Structure 1
Amino acid sequence: MFKNIFTLFIIILAFSLTACKKNLAEINRNPNAVEDPQPDYLLTAAEKLGADAYWGADNNFNSTLLIIQHWAKIQYTEPDRYIFSNSSFTSLWNTAYAQVLTNLNTIIQFPDQKANANYKAVATILRSWTFQLLTDAYGAVPYKESGKIDQTLTPVYDAQKDIYFGLLDELKTAAASLNAAAGSIAGDPLYNGNLSNWKKFANALRLRIALRIADREPQKAQAVIAEVTADPSSLINSTTEAAQLKYDQSPLQNPVAAWFSTRDDYRVGKTIIDRLYALNDPRLPVYADKPTDPSVTKYVGVPSGLTNSDANNLGFAKTSKPGLTFFRSDANPAVIMSYAEVLFDRAEAVARGFINGDANSLYRQAITASFNQYQITDNTVINNYLGQSAVSYDPSNFKKSIGEQKWIALYGQGLEAFAEWRRLDYPQLTSGQAGVLDGKIPVRFIYPGTEQSLNGANYKAAVAAQGTDNLLTKLWFDVN
């Protein structure tokens, strides 16, 4: 599935070192760069880099998983208290723009004889997902002028509304252009060249983004959702069709597993463990391991936002690490979009009156799909869970029902869970105990400091339009 990994990283390095304008590129030509990059190698690199950024430390378990209280820190607790430096949020930005988008844009710009239409459509779908991550996190970001380094070194920041609208159009075009007759694609660890699954992923992304804008632009959201759900088979329809990158070949390794192989500073958050206990949720032993101290017989979560001394006093052996089988072992996949998420999205679309259907049935199917994702398939167990009053769907407050269950189902997917928590306003979380934001919780990433020096005028214009560049400025989609 994966080609020569060393060649892959040479390609990544070459593109990261490429100069920004044609004349500068000629002057600064890297003698070690690949002269003739191939679309399959570029696609492999983009998928792996994107998945690693989504699932790895900086954007996931050292920021968003802490903010939404899936995880907590047992030592070095500053991020759990919302003490972030300006460099804390550079990874998503730098990886996306300098590496992932560079590779994808290169594929899209290849002549047809070098990259067929399917390569370009898949690259466009991945590009749209990457921009969705960027705007979800930061708000306004360079979009329309991004990657046009032969025209400008200082791209304008586009408003979040315009980015979402643009992505909806790009995804529609890309999905429609996928055609087996145009040729096969290689270097695709995400879907192994399955064009049908790529089309389903594109439509599922359109559904996700349409709900992002639903509170601001309900008419646009409804039109898009009616289109992508007209034929439910055009969406992700099983756990086997989920978008996920499998770390199943050496030397590739799940970023969570790689971290825990040398460090031990994260634990499962008390907030989610308490909730799973309250619901008798069978995912508890999946999401967490029992403490290694044999005297502790229950799962023990760490409260969010403790000081270093308070966290350390809880004891490393007396608190629960994330579950080994599905999260801390080498071959576990980076889940980008699950079948459960798609079902929750369809349930919400019905609840909002955008499409016809049975919201309660879709909601129950979504929970079941989340269970099945972790190989929980016993119908008695599932039905007992769904039969609880605390789990039952509440049509008078669909945001609460869907928001709380989606928060549980998105465990481990920090960036997406962070976006959905802000959008749905559930579960209603309390700030970390020793948080430094006066009882508030961050609602965005701050821009990298380099933007102020390298793209200062456009950075200032974006901040003036969007609001102060701090952790508490709500983004356009975050209405309440």
Structure 2
Amino acid sequence: MKINFIKLTLFFATVMLVFTGCEKVDFGGINDNPNEPTQPSAGSLLASAEGAVHNYVGATTPNLYVQYLSNGQYDEESRYQTLNWDTSYWYGVLTDLDRMIEVSENPNQIAAGTILRVYLFEGMTTRWGQLPYTEALKGLDNQFPAFDAQEDIYNGLFAELDAALGMIDAGGNAVAGDYIFGGDITKWESFGQTLKLIMGLRLSNANPTLGQQKFNEALGNEIMSNSENFFYPYLADENNDNPWEDRFLAPSFRRDYLVSDVFVDALIGSGSADAPEDTRLYGMAQPATTSGTFVGAPYGQVNSATDDYSFITGDIIFNQEAPLYMFTYAEVLFARAEAAELGWTSENAEDLYKQAIMASFDQWGQSSEAATSYISKNAYNGTDSIGYEKWVALYFQGYEAWAEWRRLEAMGYEKALVAPEDLLSNATDVPDRQAYAATASSLNEASYNAAISAQGPDELNTKIWLFE
């Protein structure tokens, strides 16, 4: 017993000598779990933020705003029931991106995160208009951020985008955590340039001088074929699959989204319900179960007998891996055609218009012969032709289609849409914006009041600066 006591005494004495003999002892990590890092990685933050793109491109409501779709039994969404839309989720995503930029030392990682930040913020300002921007995301340092004018937001986003494109190193490190573009920085550069081109054209009504400048800076660096279309990739997995498949099959099993009569009738054109003039309809919708022909569901009405109407193509609603598009080659070609028609470039507007239709037909699985035949029957008529064909080509691109439809309306050559008679949420027409969260006026009262004083009432039909 005495021997054991002596051994223990010598052991503890040795331990103390070891520690006291060191110049510095750091016990700071003694309770850290090596399997749960306390500092988030740039890759994990980017992957988390990229998930927000899914919620943006997969949204139902904007596809109803531009009348691609009609509701089935429940018609409230097509009558604009929802007035208030919360921004807090999106600011949470932007916080992740800002944190990623802060912790990363990889210029390509920072560039990709900044480009995604611009993409998401541009989507936000086209929905709400004025938003906290320069004072946003400062946490407790500024709990009541001012709302920036949309013009200032756009100018700031261009500055961010230009800085990001300028720091890209094609021979540098891959982008970690990037499952949209697989870490390929050259795709991020192309995406950023395409975004810049689209944003330039978005200014055609509000600030055409700056719009032309930014458009031409990006021209020649945007996507050049359908194989380069930008889309959100889904998986055959219930946690990461196409949301439209989830709506029609597990877990929702709700057959409530039909193709509208506005869209179906436009594409049937001079053809018939079983042989539409515009064969893109074969790739976009499916014949009604009852008749075996294309039948659009009346927009803004209850359409309970869903089998009497055409559903969205089964290639989307029954396919977990069906991609949803962010930007397409057809959209870019229509943008270039319009820019040429506006005198922004020296390109040939009619040639680009025809190429855009060809690209759209190809995107929706239709032959070049069908596209050529369609073009021959629909003579080019300047911006009016572009306005209509762009509306068709942006089918199912939700928020992007709604943004462009409002811009085209401001320019005076949109595809004419008529709102339902019995509207909700005090709407008076097809929505021009979405209202701030119902809590915005109480949580940030002074800034909220300043915003609506400058922009107009917090309503669906208050026009925002881009599209006034």
Please give the range of the TM-score, normalised by the shorter of the 2 chains.
0.7 to 0.9
Q: Report the AA paired with residue 407 of structure 1.
A: W
> Cα deviations across residues 160-211 of structure 1 (Å, max 9, x unaligned)?
1111111112111111211034311132122112211211111111111111
2:228 match: 241
- Normalised by the length of structure 2, the TM-score is 0.86
2:22 match: none
CA contact (8 A) 1:303 1:432 kept: no
2:438 equivalent among 440, 449, 452 = 449
Distance in structure 2 (CA, Å) of the matches to 1:466 and 1:158: 10
1:477 match: 466
Distance in structure 2 (CA, Å) of the matches to 1:393 and 1:300: 28
Distance in structure 2 (CA, Å) of the matches to 1:195 and 1:177: 11
- What is the CA distance between 1:104 and its match in structure 2? 0.9
2:293 match: 298
Aligned pair count reads: 419
Distance in structure 1 (CA, Å) of the matches to 2:242 and 2:138: 33
1:97 match: 91
Counterparts of 1:136-285 in structure 2, within 5 Å, are 136-229=126-219, 232=220, 234-250=221-237, 251-261=239-249, 262-278=253-269, 280-285=277-282
Distance in structure 2 (CA, Å) of the matches to 1:287 and 1:271: 14
Alignment of 1:420 with 2:393, yes or no, is: no
- What is the CA distance between 1:216 and its match in structure 2? 2.1
- What is the CA distance between 1:282 and its match in structure 2? 1.3
1:339 match: 329
Distance in structure 2 (CA, Å) of the matches to 1:33 and 1:379: 54
CA contact (8 A) 1:303 1:433 kept: no
Q: Report the AA paired with residue 163 of structure 2.
A: T
Identity of aligned residues (%): 35
Alignment of 1:106 with 2:90, yes or no, is: no
- What is the CA distance between 1:111 and its match in structure 2? 4.7
Q: Report the AA paired with residue 297 of structure 1.
A: G
Distance in structure 2 (CA, Å) of the matches to 1:371 and 1:273: 16
Q: Report the AA paired with residue 285 of structure 2.
A: A
> Cα deviations across residues 225-278 of structure 1 (Å, max 9, x unaligned)?
22211xx1x111112222211113524111111111121111111100000100
Distance in structure 2 (CA, Å) of the matches to 1:147 and 1:40: 20
1:431 match: 419
Q: Report the AA paired with residue 396 of structure 2.
A: G
2:28 match: none
Query: Structure 2, unaligned stretches of length 5 or more?
Result: 1-34, 271-276
Larger Rg: 2
Query: Structure 1, unaligned stretches of length 5 or more?
Result: 1-31
> Cα deviations across residues 435-457 of structure 1 (Å, max 9, x unaligned)?
35676221110111121121111
Distance 1:38 1:299, change over 3 A: same
Counterparts of 1:24-39 in structure 2, within 5 Å, are 35-39=38-42
CA contact (8 A) 2:452 2:458 kept: yes
Of 69-78 and 181-190, the range deviating more from structure 2: 181-190
1:120 match: 110
Of 406-415 and 439-448, the range deviating more from structure 2: 439-448
The DSSP-based 3-state class of the residue aligned with 1:72 is: strand
The DSSP-based 3-state class of the residue aligned with 2:215 is: helix
The DSSP-based 3-state class of the residue aligned with 2:380 is: coil
Distance 1:304 1:194, change over 3 A: same
